[in-house]
Amino acid sequence: MSNLCVTDLPAGFRYAARAAGIKKSGKPDLALIVADQPAVCSGTFTTNKVVAAPVILTRERIRSGLCQAILVNSGNANACTGDRGLADAQRCAVLTARALGIDEQLVAVCSTGVIGVPLPMGRFEEHVPALAGELSNAGADEVARAMMTTDAFPKVAVQRFTSGGRECRIFGVAKGAGMIHPNMATMLAFVLTDATLPGPSAGLLLRRAVARTFNRITVDRDTSTNDTVLLLASGAVGAPPLVAESPDGEAFAAALEDVLQTLAKLIVRDGEGATKLVRIQVEGAASEADALAVARSVATSALVKTAFFGADANWGRIIAAAGYAGVEIDPDRVRIRFDDVPMVEGGLGLGAEQEVKATAVLKQAEFTVTVELGLGAGSAWYYTSDLNYEYVRINADYRS
């Protein structure tokens, strides 16, 4: 989605973005999201043991439950940069706070791009103050573009819901195309709402939504050092505080999950060089955890993903990936279908005629592979992309 209408966006937030010269391309690479007042904030972060400096800083700051500004840059991850990286991240927050006239502890800093290179701090010293003077409620589109690295297109999503009789809005913006296997979140995602959301409810509902969306996507089985998802609630529409276990809380939870799911699918669809978006659906597992393990195993298999690229209905790769997922499998009970085309029954292929039909399915831009295990009621899904030549080309010279 692009060309957002101001009426789609939650009240109480402003946006700005510009080209600061962080990227060699000269494209927009620095952005600012600001709440008119300190907003209730919750977040989830990378599970990688190698953690970027901005994640260390932001993770600690949002423990207060409040955030008013997010400064985000692309082109440089500020990861594996030691004490200098931490100092640079803090300096970015100081610059932002001074430009906005707010408490430095209310500033979150996020970065994405090349690992192991110090931030060009002169660019931030020059451009952060200017960003503060360009804030408007119409700049969300440009923020989405300034966050991009190898992304082919910006990723935004909006949703509306009712709380306390008032219409509230949720806006999500994300970036990500490579290094996508979060087990937490995605590369970067910021979700804003004008609902009134108490801190405990914000954390609970965000974690639930992330578990069912960003935690179920993969492009290349690489978890970034910088993964961050932040949820900010301005309360600007004046609705009463949401309670998680209530009808209004459930309406918010559904809208939040819809926004995150839209962003998650856009990320997989944009997987570096990807031409296909594939849902791996597992049914009949002994438990939901087993189903998720099988779905993840199939979704991350390089052999399965290359078969998707070639529209090769090679179901043997799928049943093999299911078999090494580390959970209970009885191959004699396995059934596999591509969309509504059966390919495997009782662990055995159904022949050449079905393969022709399945190949036609695999030539589509989006389809579902269903694996039925016949062992119980457990079900789960994962979204994945195909793997092709373009992915290798992009990542072979990413730093150049």
Give, for 54, the enclosing helix (H) or strand (E). Answer: helix 53-61
Task: Find out whether 277 and 369 touch, Cβ atoms under 8 Å.
Answer: no
Beta bridge partners of 337: 342, 370
Distance CA 38, CA 49 (A): 30
Any idea which residue has 């700049």 for tokens?
139
In the sheet with 348-349, reading across from the earlier edge strand, the strands are 348-349, 341-345, 335-338, 366-372, 277-285, 378-385
Query: How far apart (Å, rounded) are the C-alpha atoms in residues 55 and 76?
Result: 13
Known catalytic residues are 186
Using CA atoms, how far apart are residues 235 and 13, in angstroms rounded to an integer? 11
Cβ contact 79:261 at 8 Å = no
CB 308 within 8 A of CB 362: yes
Helices vs. strands in the chain: H and E counts, helices first: 11, 14
Residue with tokens 């295990």: 373
User: Cβ(382)–Cβ(218) under 8 Å?
Assistant: yes
CB 12 within 8 A of CB 171: no
- DSSP 8-state assignment for residue 134: T
3-state class of 140 per DSSP? helix
Q: Phi then psi for 364, rounded to 5 degrees?
A: -75, 160
Torsion sign (Cα): 233, 239, 244, 247: negative
